[in-house]
Amino acid sequence: MRYAPEITACLLSSVLTISCSETAQTESRNALVVGSKNFTESVLLGELVAQKLEGAGCRVDRRLNMGGTFVCDTALTAGAVDVYVEYSGTALTAILKKPVDRDSGGVSAVVEAAYRERGLVWGPALGFNNTFAMIVRQRDAETLGLRSIGDLRKVQDRYRPGFGYEFTERPDGWTGLVQHYGLAFAARPETMDLGLTYRALAAGKVDLIAGNSTDGLIGSLGLVILEDDRHYFPPYDAVIARRKDVASKCAAAETALAALGGSIDDATMRSLNFEVDGKKRDVAVVVREFLSGTGTR
């Protein structure tokens, strides 16, 4: 049977469309989906994982800036995401609903075993701990002898604390901290948007804030972290969480992810965050420079 030229062209177009669609679906199924939460550090780490996998020859589908902890964990368990970076303390308390444990090794062991039971893989750890940090101005630390949280007794009669709303409410926040350290501040904490606390401290509007230990603005604003000398805050080690079947999508994936273990310390993560938050640079470029050895290390 012969077809008119226009019919033949139509049939050929339909066949090509179906073929391309099937190819795209196959490629999509074989791509490793990398997710992240919706803040700078998590997006940076998602891009780091993605570029590392691509460098190993894996096909990657980025789903960065997805949302919070529960969005990412749900996507991982459902198979909508293959890998993302989670924090050990968050996994322990928020995801697994287990009691706070301040021993890093103990937390890692509990979380790794629990993830195995969930059919997931926990690890490797990237090498840094993004825990809560009590932060003061560096000049105050030097002139007033403030090196640890316990040293805040020297200034508790006059220091003005200022925190994001969450820190004043959560069980491992301000109330627990003052009890744990036996502190009695004369001034009640001022609450403000978390993003405003760093500049409020630098400008002298408050004297003490709670931040994250790897925030990029700490050094650039002349601030310093006080040592948690009584080990109040639980560990928040950054760890790759993934599905067990990543190797079925890319044979080189396991080796590529393992190579990221211990590759970032606290100071390096602060610098990477500052490149994006402080200098307003593109995440992908910052990560590419880091992996190539030409950027922050």
Q: CB of 68 within 8 A of CB of 36?
A: no
Residue 29 has pLDDT above 90, yes or no: no
Q: CB of 175 within 8 A of CB of 220?
A: no
Pairwise CA distance, residues 178 & 123, whole Å = 34
Pairwise CA distance, residues 198 & 209, whole Å = 7
Q: Which residue has the tokens 């701990």?
A: 129
Pairwise CA distance, residues 127 & 88, whole Å = 12
Q: Is 108 helix (H, G, I), strand (E, B) or coil?
A: helix
Residue 26 has pLDDT above 50, yes or no: no
Q: What integer pLDDT is reported at residue 102 of this predicted model?
A: 87
As a whole number of angstroms, the longest Cα–Cα distance in the chain is: 96
Domain ranges of the chain: 31-130+236-292, 132-225
pLDDT by residue (tens digit) across 83-142?
A: 999 999 989 988 999 988 889 999 999 999 999 999 999 999 999 999 989 999 999 999
Q: How much is the mean pLDDT over the chain? A: 89
Report the percentage of the chain scoring pLDDT > 90: 71
Pairwise CA distance, residues 37 & 85, whole Å = 8
Q: Is 259 helix (H, G, I), strand (E, B) or coil?
A: coil
Among the listed residues 269, 265, 266, 247, the one whose alpha carbon sits nearest the alpha carbon of residue 257: 247
Q: CB of 155 within 8 A of CB of 161?
A: no
CATH fold match for the domains 31-130+236-292 and 132-225: yes
Q: CA 57, 59, 64, 68 torsion: positive or negative? A: negative
Residues facing residue 11 across a β-bridge: none
Pairwise CA distance, residues 101 & 81, whole Å = 28
What are the structure tokens assigned to 26, written together?
């196959």
pLDDT by residue (tens digit) across 7-20?
A: 444 444 544 454 44
Which of the four CATH numbers 3.10.20.600, 3.40.980.10, 1.10.10.10, 3.40.190.10 does domain 31-130+236-292 have?
Answer: 3.40.190.10
Given CATH 3.40.47.10, say whether it is the number of domain 132-225. no
Residue 205 has pLDDT above 80, yes or no: yes
Cα distances (Å, whole numbers) of residue 69 to 42, 208, 225, 258: 11, 27, 25, 23
Q: At what angle do helices 40-55 and 283-292 cross, to 10 degrees?
A: 50
Indicate the pTM of the whole model. Answer: 0.78
Residue 113 backbone dihedrals phi, psi, to 5 degrees: -65, -40
Question: How does DSSP assign 174-242, residue by residue?
Answer: HHHHHHHHT---SSPPEEE-GGGHHHHHHTTS-SBEEEETT-THHHHTTEEEPB-TT--SPP-EEEEEE
pLDDT by residue (tens digit) across 236-270?
A: 999 999 999 999 999 999 999 999 999 999 999 99
